[in-house]
Chain A
Amino acid sequence: MRVFAVAVALTLPFCAQAQDHGPILSDTVEAHILPGFAALSDATATLTQAAQTDCAPGSPQLRAAFHKAFDDWISVSHLRFGPTEVQDRAFALAFWPDTKGFTPKALTGLIATEDTAVRSPEAFAETSIAGRGFFALEQMLYDPRFSEQGSEAYRCALVQAIAADIDGNASAINTDWASYATALTQPGGDSPYRSDDEAMQELYKALITGLEFTSDTRLGRPMGIFHRPRPSRAEARRSERSLRHVELSLAALRELAIRLSADHPGIAADLDDAFAKAITRAQSLDDPSFADVATPQGRLRVEALQQSISDIRAIASAELGPTLGISAGFNSLDGD
């Protein structure tokens, strides 16, 4: 047996050279994160008021408020850490994908039993997470199967309860960000981040997972495989928001990417170019709910968009990641 009696060296993982990330952290928090969650909270307040004023699914004011608030959520939905993760707030705002149809089941259950939870925000927050949030509201407003289930009075109360619950979560996230902003910009002490590097890595991860989600899930689910596209799996297809979500998320991720690469103008320019190409491609699609993936031509166009997002991901991991001390461990990044 061949054994070297050598103590295992206490090797530290690769660390980036000490850099002052303070300005980038402050800028990202103050110009990207806080305004995003403040806008969302304002929009959900308007949404819940609109539902109180007129809860009819066809109400133009209610639908407009729904679209505005949903827009504002998608624009911050890549920031999945800290306040969004407390008590599953982000999942309560957006339960998607819904692979097993839990949302319609939850709504049908509430309506069929006339569940009194709709009368109290606390009780409603305890109901199934699948029957809450933007996707539940979308089905109440746009899916014909819910336009006649149960009584009109109960459907109205349910729409109002979902809107109020959305507003409760959005405003709680916004409130918590006031203190979490300090934790992210001033690591150490009580902060969950021990250093600037760790705080930067959190933001970098938000960029990477945001790109991944838009590419693999927002586009990947409706694309399916070539011989079996799945247009009915597109995100928010009932309100024809599928493509809009891709555009909004790319715009938000572009803004984040440019801020994170502020110290490296070359990388910032590469990322900006790659985002510009992807966004141009998305804007040229003219297929709001990805219904065209059912045709070979339509599917190819979405595939090209997906490829252009892969290009952004490649630049981010090859150029931006290493500047932040992100090393690709063989097992540590495997996730199995």
Chain B
Amino acid sequence: MTSRRHFLAGLAAASLTPVQGWASVGAPDYLAAALFPDGTYRLAGLETGGDIVFSLPLPARGHAAAAHPKRAQAVAFARRPGTFAIVIDCTTGTEIARLEAPVGRHFYGHGIFSLDGTRLFTTENDYEAGEGVIGIWDADDHTRLGEFSSGGIGPHDMRLMPDGQTLVIANGGIETHPETGRTKLNLPVMQPRLSYVDLSGSVLEQVELPRALQKNSIRHLAMRQDGLVGFAMQWQGDKTQHPPLLGLHRRGETPRLLSAAETDQSSLQGYAGSIAFAGDGETIAITCPRGNALHQYSIANETLAHAYHLEDVCGLGSGPDGFVFTTGTGIVGQLSGKQARVAARPDCQWDNHLIPIRTTV
């Protein structure tokens, strides 16, 4: 397997090189939203070593962001059900534009740019119909160009496939309406799915879990450069059951679900917050803030490689030598081998996600 290992490592290394426009802002490796010690919500550019190379104010609690593939620009999304997203020039720290969700829509907190950086796609809720949509925006003049169905209800995270022509969407399956806050309106009939659509909105493939896992909401995604999709889930069913929270999928195949032994799995409280492949593409991990755990799996064996106890851990990204993680208690840390170490403690309450800044191929 040496050749495959080198192949994957090479791909991962290439993917971690920050793109040119970002060099002007100190070449951060990640974007992350946080509550700063002075009580402000900000979007930060982070190095893998934990240094904050810039931070910009947000009007409310952030969730995730999308990094432009060429320019040092980011779109920061409010936590759902936010109706705005802010386009930020990360060289000057200024707001370039504000995307307002159209009437009858709100953002879910995730979005992604097209490979060439001309389009932005956003996951949204058509809440009167109770259906998921993907908004299409012009990334240059920030106008809305249109929308198409997400292929399900409650689309959350979304990734561009390595072909640059296909979106994979985590349709969590849960219907909410802004008038009833974050109340889940359709749990008995929810149907999460992984939807593959082309950039014009044609559904190419719909992937559903076995019926017994119908209440396992597919929320967050990770993409390996060969098109292997990792998905993290949040269990909405009977709490005495501890189903898998991590899945792997390759187009055209049946999803594979990965789970730890019962004692480890039951400690996670049915909730995974973020997911990422390791820098070498050989392992994948999920963060579980309710179980205060990070579970790292071997992809080849589909078994738990290591479980780390980390309080309120949530943000997760590929690191140069494994993973980088953040916690709600303020830590930026690194995992390599079987070691977790604190890289920095900037005293920020890091929000759910670490968004890598890199080219998509």
Contact = CB atoms under 8 A, between A and B. Distances in A.
Given A81-B239, A85-B239, A332-B328, A216 B181 contact: yes
Most chain-B Cβ atoms within 10 A of its Cβ — which of A8, A223, A224? A8
A334 B312 CA distance: 11
Given A99-B130, A221-B180, A224-B179, A5 B341 contact: yes
Interface in B25-70: 35, 47-51, 63
Contact of A86 (B238, B333, B339): B238
A330 B130 CA distance: 28
Interface string B212-247: 000000010000000000000010011110000000
A129 B215 CA distance: 14
A220 B48 contact: no
Interface in B307-356: 308-314, 327-329, 331, 333-334, 339-344, 349-352
Contact of B49 (A2, A213, A216, A334): A2
Contacts of A336: 63, 79-80, 109, 156, 219, 273, 352
A97 B130 CA distance: 12
Interface string B153-181: 00010000000000000000001010111
A99 B219 CA distance: 22
B23 interface: no
B343 A88 contact: no
A284 interface: no
B341 A1 contact: no
B204 interface: no
Interface string A80-98: 0110011010011001010
B182 A335 contact: yes
A5 B340 CA distance: 9
Contacts of A335: 182, 234
Interface string A311-336: 00000000000000000011110111
Contacts of A8: 308, 310, 331, 333, 340-342
Nearest to B34: A330
A223 B35 CA distance: 32
Nearest to A228: B179
B189 interface: yes
B292 A221 contact: no
Main secondary structure on A side of the interface with B = loop
Interface in A116-148: 129-130
Nearest to A212: B183
B289 interface: yes
Contacts of A26: none
Contacts of B109: 336
A2 B79 CA distance: 30
Contacts of A92: 188
B337 to A, nearest CB: 13
B13 interface: no
Contact of A334 (B327, B329, B340, B352): B352
Nearest to A1: B49
B290 interface: yes
Interface residues of B, number: 57
Most chain-A Cβ atoms within 10 A of its Cβ — which of B51, B238, B273? B238
Contacts of B344: 2-4
Given A6-B341, A8-B341, A331 B179 contact: no
A225 B343 contact: no
A220 B328 contact: no
A244 interface: no
Contacts of A212: 183
A67 interface: no
A212 B181 CA distance: 10
Contacts of A6: 341-342
A237 B130 CA distance: 22
A99 B177 contact: yes
A217 to B, nearest CB: 5
B186 interface: yes
Contacts of B309: 10-11
Contacts of B339: 7
B361 interface: no
A225 B314 contact: no
A133 to B, nearest CB: 10
A216 B310 contact: no
Contacts of B273: 331, 334, 336
B187 interface: yes
A45 B80 CA distance: 44
Interface string A148-184: 0000000000000000000000000000000000000
Contacts of A259: none
A6 B180 CA distance: 45
Contact of A2 (B51, B130, B189): B51
Contact of B312 (A7, A10, A223, A332): A332
Nearest to B214: A88
30 contacts: A1-B49, A3-B50, A7-B341, A8-B340, A8-B342, A13-B292, A92-B188, A95-B188, A216-B180, A216-B181, A220-B180, A220-B183, A221-B177, A221-B179, A221-B180, A329-B289, A329-B312, A329-B328, A330-B350, A331-B289, A332-B289, A332-B292, A332-B312, A332-B328, A334-B79, A334-B273, A334-B352, A336-B109, A336-B273, A336-B352
Interface of B: 35, 47-51, 63, 79-80, 109, 130, 156, 175, 177, 179-183, 185-189, 219, 234, 237-240, 273, 289-290, 292, 308-314, 327-329, 331, 333-334, 339-344, 349-352
